[in-house]
Amino acid sequence: LAPVGPIPCISEEVAREAFKDYASSNCCYSNSPAEDGVITSLEPHNTYRYRLETFTESRSTDWAHKPHKGEAADFYTQPAPQPWQVQVTPPEMFTNHTQELPVPYTSTIKVLHQICHMMMTFVCVCVCVCVCVCVCVCVCVCVCVCVCKECYVCHGTGKTETGDCGRCNAGRESCSSCNGQGTEDCETCEGRRQLMTFIQLKVEWTNHLEDFLAQQGGSLTAKELSSVTGKELFKGAQNLVYPLLGFPDPAIAQASERMVQEHQAQYLQTSRILQQRQTVELIPVAKVGYKWKGDAHCYYVAGNELHVTADYPDTCCCVIL
């Protein structure tokens, strides 16, 4: 890579307009520092940003089930493929995505507990003491007890001034589980008595992004500059990239070598690297010194977006109603 010439520093007018836009975008900031402050200095603090992206795919399996709705089981058809033998189409490169799908030839049909042959639903029994007992008889037998509520319209009398209570008719509200119907479908089998069990494959595509900032006198961090862009000097993508050992700035060359080695060593242990991408940008950064009410202050204007970072000297306490 050939050496890159310096980016001209922004003008005083551009710096002032960026500061005004910054102040007006914050409801708790007074416009006075941006409008009345006197700019005293403009210093370029341009910096290189090296970015490495490693796009990986990982796979895991677990047992899953769903209500059987007549589908044919395929467990005995042929041997099931291994997780990495299942054909899955990856999404667009360098975008995070998760997909779950059944592994072929792993599905079986399981008939639930013997009691479930007789009862495919919960049985709700309301006894005289107004305690509703719901017995789940699908996979296991469990008891859920809930106290029936007194009707808030008739206060448990079953009567109102105009006659019978139109809400409950009996002084008590219906069971909250079965709504007075006496039965409720099993949530596991949906009342079908059978489950289809299978091995579920979970595929995760993850873009691991890391930045390195070659500071040149500025005080902005890589996080503060993460949302801005600059002049792109280099961009390359491969299955496995090579470090930029010939870059003119030694700090970028060293960071590239270190990060490439770390990414490949770390992510190849638990996943597959589908592609890597590395870029180098020259980020324009200007440090603007100004005076307001006799005190010296400064702010930074960075990137093509003219993003401002400042410790603003005139703020107020806002209350959002």
Beta pairing, strands 97-102 & 194-214: antiparallel
pLDDT tier, 188 (very low <50, low <70, confident <90, very high otherwise): confident
Indicate if the pLDDT at residue 81 is higher than 90. Answer: yes
pLDDT tens digits, residue range 25-40?
A: 988 898 999 999 999 9
Facing residues of 272 across strands? 57
Percentage of the chain modeled with pLDDT above 70: 79
Of 135 and 282, more confident:
282
Q: What is the pLDDT of residue 251?
A: 94
Q: What's the half-sphere exposure (Cβ side, CA atoms, 13 Å) at 153? A: 16
Q: What is the mean pLDDT of residues 192-218?
A: 90
Q: What is the pLDDT of residue 221?
A: 84
The pLDDT of residue 182 is 64
More confident residue, 11 or 149: 11
Task: Report the Cα–Cα distance between both ends of the chain, in Å, rounded.
Answer: 55
Predicted confidence band at 80 (pLDDT cuts at 50, 70, 90)? very high
* Position 133 pLDDT exceeds 50: no
Q: What is the mean pLDDT of residues 149-171?
A: 74
CA dist., res. 128 & res. 125, Å (int) = 10
Average pLDDT over residues 315-319: 63
Average pLDDT over residues 174-192: 73
Q: Where are the beta strands (DSSP E) in 68-116?
A: 97-102, 108-111
Starting at the edge strand found earlier in the chain, the sheet holding 295-302 runs 38-44, 285-292, 295-302, 307-310
Confidence tier at 120 by pLDDT (50, 70, 90): very low
| Residue scoring higher pLDDT (176 or 61) | 61
Given this model, what pLDDT does residue 192 score?
Answer: 83
**pLDDT 10s digits, 273-298:** 999 999 999 999 999 999 999 999 99
**pLDDT at residue 147 in the model:** 45
97-101, 145-149, 308-312: which range is least confident on average? Answer: 145-149
Question: Does residue 115 contact residue 139 with C-beta atoms inside 8 Å?
Answer: no
The pLDDT of residue 105: 96
The answer on pLDDT for 245 being more than 80 is yes
Alpha carbons 121 and 135: distance in angstroms, whole number? 9
pLDDT at 317: 58
pLDDT at 154: 82
CB neighbours of 30 closer than 8 A, spacing ≥ 6?
Answer: 23, 314, 315, 316
The yes-or-no verdict on residue 263 having pLDDT over 90 is yes
141-147 β-sheet, strand order: 141-147, 131-137, 121-126, 183-185
Segment 6-22 shows an average pLDDT of 89
Identity of the residue numbered 227: S
Between 217 and 226, name the one with better pLDDT: 226
For range 194-223, the mean pLDDT: 89
What's residue 226's pLDDT?
86
Task: Tell me the C-alpha to C-alpha distance, in Å, between residue 199 and each of 100, 111, 288, 314.
Answer: 10, 17, 61, 61
Helix ranges restricted to H, 2-68: 12-24, 32-36
**Is the distance from CB of 25 to CB of 312 less than 8 angstroms?**
no
Q: What is the mean pLDDT of the chain?
A: 83
Comparing 150 with 254, the larger pLDDT belongs to 254
